[in-house]
Structure 1
């Protein structure tokens, strides 16, 4: 697993039909009927295959050594430790003769991406999905570690964040704030406000001592939804390339911002409250502000680098989002 932000693309070219049939034959998965690149997919690494024996997803051309092996390890652990719907069996094939690189193959899971059906859902449907996702994350986060850090892809041991998780996280926010200056205007007032936010959360993060497995990239592109027993719910969870052991609230941030940008702040708050049941809301809000600050620093830099400038100050932009989310 890696907490590093991966920006490179390892796009794989569309193989020939003969290559696909050879790949399927190796694993006893029938003969190819159709195949194509997936619309979603981490780093353009994935292909969708329909064969005489079913539907499959192939992931290849790994970003870093051990990527596919560690993803198999994570999926196998989650399948053993939880009731979550993950893509098993997850088969890794190291021989590069067929495609020119190692690959994994897994069954295609049932369901649709939330962003593809969001416009069709009622508020009740959105609420059901948010509550289902909160339940899925609570169960996933029951996988604990003795230390905050990354799982070594080959040794399966935890490499701790240095000098501490708090310092690693705060330094990362500061790093991406300064990186964003390359693409946008960030003032001394913005920086003072950011450091004030970090200072306010210093004690909360210093006292934390409950590292949990986090997916690290929980967003509509990495899970599926479907109607299960007449109600919308999460039907599949996949892509664990950015997983590590940390504060579990980090897994809420991208979905909170998805709902906020879909003008569904009520659903965002339902999601937070459902996940936080039985926990101290004041502490939850303090930690969420920092994780959201981290994501919004990244988003600010991305939007400006892509020619989509935000026409207000960074401080005002983030504060406005916090207000919409009722994060005091």
Structure 2
């Protein structure tokens, strides 16, 4: 198989109308997956995941595309292969240090004879990935997510830091997570200036005024932070009206940091998806056994701005009629504030 551009690789791999391609059969033979019965592209902004259904069990093939096409921590890695290696490191850490299920084994192939980019093969986790438009008991879903987050954050690490491709380990950061977050916001402002929608002065001033929340109190513990802890990256199941998380995946933005960094993505997405009850129950349950401070008001700014920079850089039509970051993020920040008040009040 040969693709002229990286963005064509997934389309060529799946084939027209889910046709089983020679490359897919080759991957299945290489990793002993069994006879391929169906292929389909999985949803997601990155367009790099394929569901491979076999006679034995389903698998996911994940393409290691250029970090320039990604957002968050992974966008700073040298190569697409390193993105996959980083994910494998954190998938192994979740498996070894928590009771949560991550995609394992996580096998990587960089031969580039079957597919012209590196890729990973992993089991398709059991359960369902929910969507905000679906009709569920969203309060119960939020509680289940909080319990999974608490389990993810239970094991402390010696120091905050990012995965290092040279050592295949965590490189401790010279700064605490709050200071790193402030530096990230400033970097995102600079990167947004290179898109078609640079931040206007009102948006920049609005951000600056609220970053003071990052220094409400010192960060005490470092733990594994998923970096994009939201329903789209979780598998869930409902048994007797009780929800639980059956698996967690997509570790491309994982790092070791402040557990409170992991609270904000689900919360603002729940507001965006018009399911604030999922955010209220989430924060209410998490704070019973985990740390919650006003730092979350700083972390949510970084998450919102990271989404804005990535979406504008990739020309995704995510923001409706909003012409400035403040137009889009301001109402979500206000909704986030109302959720916090409801959960801690």
Same-fold status (TM-score > 0.5): yes
> Distance in 1 between the 2:110 and 2:213 partners?
48
Measured after TM superposition, the shift of residue 319 of structure 1 is 5.4
Structure 2: gaps (5+ residues):
1-5, 14-19, 67-78
Q: Say what the alpha-carbon RMSD is for the aligned residues.
A: 3.0
Q: 1: CA distance between counterparts of 2:144 and 2:106? A: 24
1:168 is aligned, of 167, 174, 180, to: 180
The CA distance in 2 between the partners of 1:21 and 1:300, in whole Å, is 38
* Aligned position for 2:129: 113
Partner of 2:107: 91
Tell whether 2:299 aligns with 1:287: no
Q: After TM superposition, give the deviation of residue 134 of structure 1 in Å.
A: 0.7
* Equivalent residue in structure 1 for 2:197, among 179, 183, 195: 183
Residue of structure 2 in register with 1:4 after alignment: none
> Structure 1 pair 240/13, CA: closer, same or farther in 2 (3 Å)?
same
Which of 185, 188, 212 lines up with 2:223 in the alignment?
Answer: 212
SS of the aligned residue for 1:59 comes to strand
Determine the structure 1 residue equivalent to 2:40.
Answer: 36
Partner of 1:20: 24
**In 2, distance between residues paired with 1:173 and 1:153?**
24
Q: TM-score, normalised by structure 1?
A: 0.82
- The superposition leaves residues 195-246 of structure 1 with CA deviations (integer Å, 9 ceiling, x where unpaired) of 3322344252xx2131111111112221122223552322221111111011
Q: 1:9 to 1:150 in 2, by over 3 A?
A: farther
SS in 2 for 1:14: helix
- Indicate if the aligned counterparts of 2:226 and 2:255 stay in contact, CA closer than 8 A: yes
SS in 2 for 1:239: coil
Q: Does 1:74 align with 2:90?
A: yes
Gaps of 5+ in 1: 1-7
Q: Deviations over 1:110-143 (max 9, x none)?
A: 2222116x4221xxx2122111111111111123
1:308–1:168 distance in 2 versus 1, CA, 3 Å: same
- 2:234 maps to 223
Quick check: 1:11–1:43 contact (8 Å CA) kept in 2?
no
Is the 2:213–2:295 contact (alpha carbons within 8 Å) kept by the matching residues of 1?
A: no
Contact conserved, 2:129 with 2:234, CA < 8 A, in 1?
yes
Partner secondary structure for residue 120 of structure 1: coil
Distance in structure 2 (CA, Å) of the matches to 1:238 and 1:221: 9
Query: Which residue is equivalent to 2:148?
Result: 136
Question: Per-residue deviation at 1:178?
Answer: 5.4
Instruction: Decide whether aligned partners of structure 1 residues 32 and 299 sit closer, same or farther in structure 2, where only a CA change above 3 A counts.
Output: closer
